[in-house]
Amino acid sequence: MTNYEKIRANRLKAQAKGLRNMTDDQREAVRLAQEAISSFIGEWTESFDIYDPDTPRKLQSAFWKLRNAFETEEKDEVA
């Protein structure tokens, strides 16, 4: 096993452990964010335009799901 393979295996093991330690809502928030960002990047890099009207909604939904799942800000603050 090469050094890179060892580093990658350790990283994947740590990521799996991190995911197991998240709540269901947190895992769902991460999944939605990854999907929304992937859609955005795919559309933007193809034509520098957003042609799917659901993409901004997906990004907004992912943002709120992440914000609510991780509660990193004071409750009184508004984004």
Is the Cα dihedral 74, 57, 40, 36 positive or negative?
Answer: positive
pLDDT in tens, the chain (79 residues): 899 899 989 988 988 898 899 999 999 888 888 888 888 887 777 666 666 778 788 888 888 888 888 876 665 555 5
> Do 65 and 22 form a contact (C-beta atoms < 8 A)?
no
Residue type at position 62: A
As a whole number of angstroms, the distance between CA 52 and CA 30 comes to 21
DSSP tag of 48: S
Read off the pTM: 0.60
Nearest to 26 by CA among 66, 73, 64, 75: 66
The encoded tokens of residue 42 equal 């795919």
62, containing H or E segment = helix 54-70
In the chain, where the domains are located: 23-79
Amino acid 75: pLDDT = 59
Amino acid 44: pLDDT = 72
